[in-house]
Structures are given as structure tokens and as C-alpha cells.
Structure 1
Amino acid sequence: MDGATLHEVTVRTALALPAVEETQPFGADSVVYKVVGRMFVLATELRGVPIVNLKCAPPHGAALVRDLAEVSPGWHMDKRHWITLAPGDGLDETMVEDLVANSWELVVAGLPRARRPLDAARRSNPGA
């Protein structure tokens, strides 16, 4: 997967998830996606190479770092709980979509129940 596609798939996937907002707290060169005010994706460039930072459960992240050259510990993030994706043949669209969705799920799971987007939707529509 090339860098432009990495960013495109990441952005498309992040924006399709519930309660997501796009922000640029670090300047015009970096885009951050948040759910209920908490970051779950950072899309930026490192030395001219598009990268994506995602929250990831430590055992899963460690396995990805071990097995894929395109995955490294989170750049400028907590190295246990974040990973960085870089362009390369080891990534495909489905994997990136799954990792973005998993990052969103981890952040939502850490929110108080009353602030979780899916729990709020269920309360307003109990039959769902």
C-alpha cells in the first residue's frame, strides 16, 4: 500500500465511525480524528513519508511490530498502546480498516458508559 492510499483508507474509515470529529491540533500537516474528544487516529508525515498512528492493545501491537516491517511502536506516542503504520506491501485495505476501527473501539471502551456513542444511541432507541 502506498502512502496516499494509506491516508485515504484511514480517513475514509475514521469518518465513517460514529461520533468522530476531524481536528488539526498540531498544525495543518497533521490530521487527528477523535471520538467524544479523545484521539484515536493521527495521520501525518514523517520525513516526507505518510504515516498513521493508531491506538492498539499492547499484545496485538507487539505482534504487529514483530511481524510487519510497516508497523512500528507509536511515533511520539506511548509505545505500548500506540502503533505507527507506514507505506509498504505488508499492509492492505482491510487490515488498515480493521486497525482504525479497533483503535476507535479501544478509545470508546475507555469512555464512561454515559458518553459512549453506541450506548447513547441504544438508550434513545431501545429496540435497536
Structure 2
Amino acid sequence: MDRKAAREYLLSRPEAKEDFPFGPDVAVFKIKGKMFATLGRLNGVDCTNLKCDPDEAQALRDIFTGVIPGYHMNKKHWNTVLLDGSVPDYEIERMMDRSYGLVVRGLRKVECEALLLAYGPEVIFR
């Protein structure tokens, strides 16, 4: 997956917004003001930071060489995924969906319920 495809996929999530609070080189993707992903570069390689369940985060790091502890993030809850071809596209999309879903679950109840009502759980938690 390249940077353009990653950006398009992240923005395809319901009500996802792109912002640049850290400057023009790091895109931050939010749902209802809460960050669920970043898109930037690490050592010259495009990458994305994604929220993850702590147990799953470590398992993904053990499986894929292109998944490392979250760069500039809480390493227990975030992974950095290198967009260098070492992780299959379908797995990156699954991790993006999981990150989005984890953040939606953490929203205020009224915000979460409104998203579920508007889009359905199969879209929000795919």
C-alpha cells in the first residue's frame, strides 16, 4: 500500500477528517476530534501510526517486520506500520479499520450511537 492509497482508505471511513496539527509533513486522521491514525514518513519510508489493542499490537510486531512500536506514540497502544510492501494491503486495511473502531468505541456514548445509527455497526466496526 502506498501513501496515496492509505490516505484514501483512511478518509473513506465514515466522518473521518484529515488535519495537520504537527505541520505539513504529518497528516492526522480523526473521528469526532479523536485521532485514529497518522500518515507520515520514518527514515525516508512512508508509514502510518494506528491505535491497537495492546495484546494484538505485540502480536503484529512479532508477525510483521514492517510493524514496530508507535513512533512518538504510546507504544503500548499504537503501532507504526511501514508502507514498504512488507505488510499486505489487506492487513493494513484491517489494522486501519480496527484503529478506527477502537476510537469510535471510546467516544462519548451519544457520539458512538449516532455513528452506529447513521452507518450501521457493519460499516463502523468492519
Question: Is TM (by shorter chain) over 0.5?
Answer: yes
The bucket for the TM-score relative to the shorter chain is 0.7 to 0.9
**Unmatched 5+ residue regions in structure 1?**
123-128
Listed as ranges, the matches of 1:1-128 within 5 Å are 5=2, 7-116=3-112, 117-121=114-118
> Match of 1:18, SS?
coil
> Match of 2:80, SS?
strand
Between the aligned partners of 1:14 and 1:87, the Cα distance in structure 2 is 14
Between the aligned partners of 1:61 and 1:31, the Cα distance in structure 2 is 22
CA contact (8 A) 1:61 1:81 kept: yes
In structure 2, the partner of 1:126 is: none
CA contact (8 A) 2:37 2:49 kept: yes
Between the aligned partners of 1:102 and 1:9, the Cα distance in structure 2 is 17
Between the aligned partners of 1:100 and 1:31, the Cα distance in structure 2 is 14
RMSD (Å) for aligned C-alpha atoms: 1.5
TM-aligned CA deviation for residue 68 of structure 1? 1.1
Between the aligned partners of 2:34 and 2:117, the Cα distance in structure 1 is 17
For 2:27, the aligned partner's letter is V
- Spell out, residue by residue over 1:53-87, the C-alpha distance to the aligned partner (whole angstroms, 9 max, x if none): 00011111100111111000100000010000113
User: Which structure is richer in relative contact order (CA contacts within 8 A, separation 6 or more)?
Assistant: 1
**What is the percentage of aligned positions where both structures have the same residue?**
35
Task: Count matched residues.
Answer: 118
Between the aligned partners of 2:14 and 2:91, the Cα distance in structure 1 is 20
Between the aligned partners of 1:57 and 1:12, the Cα distance in structure 2 is 24
Between the aligned partners of 2:80 and 2:47, the Cα distance in structure 1 is 7
